[in-house]
Structure 1
Amino acid sequence: MKTNKKVQKMNNVQKSEKETAVKVTALAIIPKPMILLSPQNVPTTAGVTEAPETVTVPTVVEGAPQQATLKAPLATATAETDLDITTIHPSADNHRKTFNDTSLQELADSIREVGVLQAIAVRPRTEGGYEIIYGERRYRASLLAGAKTIKANIYNNVTDDEAEDMSLSENLQREQVRPTEEAKAFKRLLEKGRYDMYSLVSRFGRSEKYIYTRLKLNELYAPIGELLDNETITVSVAEEISTYEPNIQKDVYEKHLKEDSGDNWTGYTLNLFRKHFEKCYTTDLEQYKFDKTECKACVHNAANYNLFAEHNGCGHCTNRKCLETKNAAHVAKETEKLLKSDPKLVIARPYYGSRNDTALQKLDKKGHEIKDFDYNVSAREFPKAPEAPQKEQFTEPTEYEQAVQTFEQRNEEYARKVEELNRKKEEGRIKTYVKVGQTEPELCYVEINKKETAPVTIETLQERDKRFKQLSVEKIVADTKKVVRENDYPESPFTQYEDGMLYFIMLTKLQRKHYPLCGIKDQPIRLDEKQRMKIVAKLTDAQKTVIKRDFINHFLCEDAYGDNSASKLLRDFANMHFPDQYGLAKATHEEEYQKRHERLEERINEIKKTEKAAAKKTEAMPTPTAGKQEEPLTEAKKGKAGNDKAA
């Protein structure tokens, strides 16, 4: 009998599995001190083979660079035998917790046709039967296939640690293992002390970088690990995420990987993910000018927790608040140095271009004068001196000579521009400022007219002082709003002063017809702040009543619609103060509704009578006899019946 293609395929899978798997009969450990995972002793990426994204483990040729010694006696198996499947029990310590239903069913189909090609490993239990050391997937598939027995190797006198190592080692060499399960397995092997990094590399034929990145998956935020297991994200993306702090991982999941997230990154390749991650979460420290000595050892520097990441000498910062604070302090300090070098300089806040607002706030709090430019003013940067070429940067003498010639030409052009600008400055045609840039201060200049070159007078200084006072009040108000909004009220009685504040607010809704009651006559516009303050200072009971009722009137009329709560309150308010007018309106519309209601009731009753008569007529009709139904007349039969009747 010919075997179908599906069975042949599964046979090939089992045979390949048997050929490529390394049979674990002993745990050979190469003696070497434990290698700690630290930046000092982890090798650089040079010479390390890049680990592929797939978790498939290739065939491992067991050959150590030095003679292996045994840490534990060999675990010798009995001859391969068929055991009653009911005596087999899974191990509670099996690191593999998930099994693909489709894959299990395919394996069960293969076992149903040709049986189990590679025996599972078991050990005797004290309570009877056998416990699986490895091969639970084949055991589960055999149960699905309805097998009565299963091929097994029995290992006697195997300790729990040995059984666990055998299970982990065997499963790590199979294609079906998930990256998260592989990560847990490597971690367990290291924690047990039976392997170190060196022996793991030798034992499983994986690079140190591969094992290290798999171990980092143990630090992956749990929901992201589920996305990896479901193949929603690639293993390379998951490894990249695992190198960052837990709070960043959680934020990435909530905003960019969760199913309902607006900016979803689940389908991104590693390069595309890094591009977007850099934009949202990390910053290259190389572009900043402040002293980064502390940053090199900081826990928020990505270079310190991704040992194999490619980066410059500074790394990437993930704590943007700290980065912004340090950068702003540096920029403010450098700006003050420029101001001390030339007392006539003034800080500029240009309308166009980038600026460091945090540094500007620091300088403002220190009392430095800041000139705000409007959109009509264009501030131009002073030319910067070119950098001289260094001879050691060039391999050919001719290239260095050409670079020197280019530098000399640019330097001459720079000197000419500086001389021209200095002449314009002396003539009063330009004015220099300090522009507070993102990473450093820069000198800039503005072309000015004759009016702006007028000498500073007492009046102009007094105007500046007046403006500074206004700015001070504006800032106090802004901070006060923040204090009031963010803090809760202390327990205290409602004061008379607060009552006056309430009337000050409610006066904004006072109807114009009530202005005379409050002492305001012949004014078509709304009350201004001064008028309201004047009224609040001398409120009478009659005025308070009208102000409150106008306030209620306004908001109930604005919010009332249909049969909502505001509508009910509005009707009660009208009935309370205008019962006659409200009663007339209510009676008019209710009478109109009653007439329409009566007409609709008449139509409903007529329809009911018609339906009742039709039902009686249907009940009175004779029921056709069962088993013999009247044959419908065709046109020909109808014609014949008519002729017979006529005859």
Structure 2
Amino acid sequence: QSLTELADSISRQGILHAIGVRPIAGTDRYEIVYGERRYRASLIAGKEDIKATVYTDLSDDEAEQKAIAENLHRQDITPMEEAETLKAAIASGRYDYATLATQIGKSENYIRTRIKLTTLIPEIARLIDTEEITVAVATEISRYGKDVQTDVYNSHLKDGVVHNNWRTMNASNVARLIERNYTTDLSRYKFDKSACASCPHNTRNLLLFCEGSCDGNCANTACLREKQTTYLLDKAFYGSELFPMAKFGQTEYDSNDMVVERLVNFGYDVEKIGNNSIPFPMWPMQPEQDCFSSDVEYSIAVEEYEQNKEKCKNDRATIENMAREGKASLYVCIGRYDITLCYIPTAEGNLGDVDSEIANLEAKDKRNKEIAVERTIEDTKKIILEADITETKFSQDEDKMIYFFLLSSLRKDVIRKTKCSAFSKRNVQKDKTKRPLRLLFGS
């Protein structure tokens, strides 16, 4: 469309600015250095002659410099064309950001910001060139991954979006809304965030002014979830090593499903515990002298710390003894953001109930066997589906697998009726080798 409009202008006014060309060695032809759009539009307009400046002795580096300068100083260049031109200049290896900035008269930050626009999804890139959103708004969106960009476009920028449309918003408001709706506050998490400090997905490194948490917000939810899961698993196993008698538990409303799922896959039981659990006593925080204005206050704080430490030690020993005697259940509790220890006193009527414990273990053992059978069936089905049996005969093992699945698909009453009425004892004794097939396929 833009070429057609340029062709119409050339038909009326001709070429206003000559294109640049240089001779191709050993031929009578020329290579366009700059002005390719004007050349193509002139062809559309049916022109046979075009103004051209011929550079007889131009190196590749000089040709590229002229091409970049010409493109970037065009009055009708679009933001995305400019971004692609700058990106190509850096990718060529002939420039770094400093030399390119000197060449075009722009700052290095300007170049980096413009090149970042090339990471936009096509739908949002078109909105810049049609001036439906500003470059500043697009720049804020380009700081995030394609998943966030796609959701922002579909929910707030797409044609037909009436409620919560962001097209008329300024850049600062868009940046604030994206951070609020599509990122997670890192201060909620306790894993080692040293790598997050310089991560490009940390909004503290994306935005000029960071409001709220000094840790910033994370825009890469997949990475955040994996780091949190790994941290909680490590802490859960550590708690289990410290207290071998403790079980894994989870509450109904404050649990991390990914951690629970991985523990179950590892073969651990994770019990559902109610709201009657009691937090396990935690060691008091040791006072630091720098936090007190006088030695007297510090001495008092140390004395209180020693008393609390002794009390905590006794309380923990009491609870551990109760757990050993079956008077309490100790749990490593899987929380949404952290792993904690808690316990639940056991009712006196159930203390020492060995039969109940045996029944519970037998039920778990039965279920484990059922799971093993289910997984064996799934694996067997997978082997059958993946096997190439188009040009080979069934092996003995394959025959057995087919019989196994066919038998499992028959109803019990069909097998019973078949056994009772379909065959006589004489026929069975006469030809035992055919009996399985008759049982499977006869009715």
Classify the TM-score, shorter chain. Answer: 0.5 to 0.7
Q: What does residue 162 of structure 1 align with?
A: 62
1:94-243 equivalence runs, <5 A: 100-101=2-3, 103-105=5-7, 107-108=9-10, 112=12, 116=15, 118-123=16-21, 125=23, 132-141=32-41, 153=53, 155-190=55-90, 195-216=95-116, 220=119, 224-225=121-122, 228-229=125-126, 231=129
1:328 deviates by 3.7
Q: What does residue 233 of structure 2 align with?
A: 332
Provide the C-alpha distance between the structure 1 equivalents of 2:264 and 2:217, rounded to a whole number of angstroms.
29
CA-to-aligned-CA distance 1:569-591 (integer Å, 9 cap, x gap): xxxxxxxxxxxxxxxxxxxxxxx
Provide the C-alpha distance between the structure 1 equivalents of 2:265 and 2:123, rounded to a whole number of angstroms.
50
1:120 deviates by 1.6
Aligned amino acid, residue 443 of structure 1: L
Question: What is the TM-score normalised by the length of structure 2?
Answer: 0.61
Q: What does residue 163 of structure 2 align with?
A: none
Structure ranking higher in helix proportion: 2
Provide the C-alpha distance between the structure 1 equivalents of 2:190 and 2:3, rounded to a whole number of angstroms.
57
Residues 517 and 543 of structure 1 are in contact (CA less than 8 Å); yes or no, is this contact kept in structure 2?
no
Provide the C-alpha distance between the structure 1 equivalents of 2:373 and 2:417, rounded to a whole number of angstroms.
34
Distance 1:120 1:359, change over 3 A: same
Residues 284 and 315 of structure 1 are in contact (CA less than 8 Å); yes or no, is this contact kept in structure 2?
yes
Distance 1:438 1:190, change over 3 A: same
Residues 503 and 547 of structure 1 are in contact (CA less than 8 Å); yes or no, is this contact kept in structure 2?
yes
Aligned amino acid, residue 360 of structure 2: R
Aligned amino acid, residue 461 of structure 1: E
Residues 19 and 39 of structure 2 are in contact (CA less than 8 Å); yes or no, is this contact kept in structure 1?
no
Distance 1:302 1:474, change over 3 A: farther
CA-to-aligned-CA distance 1:573-625 (integer Å, 9 cap, x gap): xxxxxxxxxxxxxxxxxxxxxxxxxxxxxxxxxxxxxxxxxxxxxxxxxxxxx
Q: What does residue 466 of structure 1 align with?
A: 362
Distance 1:137 1:338, change over 3 A: closer
Identity of aligned residues (%): 26
Residues 277 and 343 of structure 2 are in contact (CA less than 8 Å); yes or no, is this contact kept in structure 1?
yes
1:242-253 equivalence runs, <5 A: 249=146
Provide the C-alpha distance between the structure 1 equivalents of 2:227 and 2:367, rounded to a whole number of angstroms.
27
Distance 1:380 1:266, change over 3 A: farther
Q: What does residue 189 of structure 2 align with?
A: 288
> Is it true that 1:477 corresponds to 2:378 in the alignment?
no
CA-to-aligned-CA distance 1:77-112 (integer Å, 9 cap, x gap): xxxxxxxxxxxxxxxxxxxxxx7145325634xx62
1:437 deviates by 1.2
CA-to-aligned-CA distance 1:318-356 (integer Å, 9 cap, x gap): 483x76555444323433444555566443233443234
1:197 deviates by 1.6
1:459 deviates by 1.5
1:466 deviates by 1.0
Q: What does residue 351 of structure 2 align with?
A: 455
Residues 332 and 363 of structure 1 are in contact (CA less than 8 Å); yes or no, is this contact kept in structure 2?
no
Residues 347 and 434 of structure 1 are in contact (CA less than 8 Å); yes or no, is this contact kept in structure 2?
yes
> Is it true that 1:548 corresponds to 2:441 in the alignment?
yes
Residues 433 and 445 of structure 1 are in contact (CA less than 8 Å); yes or no, is this contact kept in structure 2?
yes
1:212 deviates by 1.5
Residues 250 and 334 of structure 2 are in contact (CA less than 8 Å); yes or no, is this contact kept in structure 1?
yes
Provide the C-alpha distance between the structure 1 equivalents of 2:123 and 2:340, rounded to a whole number of angstroms.
50
Provide the C-alpha distance between the structure 2 equivalents of 1:135 and 1:497, rounded to a whole number of angstroms.
71
Provide the C-alpha distance between the structure 1 equivalents of 2:140 and 2:381, rounded to a whole number of angstroms.
40
1:208 deviates by 1.9
Distance 1:130 1:352, change over 3 A: closer
Aligned amino acid, residue 472 of structure 1: N
Distance 1:381 1:442, change over 3 A: farther
Provide the C-alpha distance between the structure 1 equivalents of 2:377 and 2:139, rounded to a whole number of angstroms.
45
Residues 139 and 150 of structure 1 are in contact (CA less than 8 Å); yes or no, is this contact kept in structure 2?
yes
Distance 1:466 1:228, change over 3 A: same
Aligned amino acid, residue 499 of structure 1: Y
- SS at the partner of 1:330? helix
Aligned amino acid, residue 373 of structure 2: V
Aligned amino acid, residue 228 of structure 1: A
Residues 356 and 437 of structure 1 are in contact (CA less than 8 Å); yes or no, is this contact kept in structure 2?
no
Q: Of 492, 502, 506, which aligns to 2:395?
A: 492
Q: What does residue 643 of structure 1 align with?
A: none
Aligned amino acid, residue 463 of structure 1: A
1:469 deviates by 1.0
- Structure 1 spans left out of the alignment, 5+ residues: 1-98, 394-399, 401-407, 520-537, 551-647
- Structure 2 spans left out of the alignment, 5+ residues: 159-165, 168-173, 294-300, 389-393, 424-430
CA-to-aligned-CA distance 1:43-87 (integer Å, 9 cap, x gap): xxxxxxxxxxxxxxxxxxxxxxxxxxxxxxxxxxxxxxxxxxxxx
Q: What does residue 570 of structure 1 align with?
A: none
Q: What does residue 275 of structure 2 align with?
A: 378
Provide the C-alpha distance between the structure 1 equivalents of 2:401 and 2:57, rounded to a whole number of angstroms.
88
Residues 328 and 356 of structure 1 are in contact (CA less than 8 Å); yes or no, is this contact kept in structure 2?
no
Aligned amino acid, residue 495 of structure 1: D
Q: What does residue 609 of structure 1 align with?
A: none
1:200 deviates by 2.5
- SS at the partner of 1:177? coil
CA-to-aligned-CA distance 1:238-292 (integer Å, 9 cap, x gap): 7678777xxx75x779x8699xxxx67763666499459946xxx6655432334
Q: What does residue 309 of structure 1 align with?
A: 206
Asked which structure has the greater CA Rg, the reply is 1
1:250-289 equivalence runs, <5 A: 267=158, 271=175, 274=178, 278=182, 286-289=187-190
Aligned amino acid, residue 182 of structure 1: E
Which stretch of structure 1 is more off in the superposition, 141-150 or 483-492? 141-150
> Is it true that 1:353 corresponds to 2:249 in the alignment?
no
- SS at the partner of 1:433? strand
1:309 deviates by 2.1
CA-to-aligned-CA distance 1:510-559 (integer Å, 9 cap, x gap): 3997685279xxxxxxxxxxxxxxxxxx9996896476354xxxxxxxxx
Distance 1:386 1:303, change over 3 A: farther
Distance 1:228 1:450, change over 3 A: same
Provide the C-alpha distance between the structure 1 equivalents of 2:328 and 2:141, rounded to a whole number of angstroms.
52
1:358 deviates by 2.7
Provide the C-alpha distance between the structure 2 equivalents of 1:485 and 1:102, rounded to a whole number of angstroms.
60
- SS at the partner of 1:119? coil
Residues 39 and 50 of structure 2 are in contact (CA less than 8 Å); yes or no, is this contact kept in structure 1?
yes
Distance 1:343 1:128, change over 3 A: closer
Residues 217 and 242 of structure 1 are in contact (CA less than 8 Å); yes or no, is this contact kept in structure 2?
yes
Residues 123 and 132 of structure 1 are in contact (CA less than 8 Å); yes or no, is this contact kept in structure 2?
yes
Distance 1:387 1:134, change over 3 A: farther
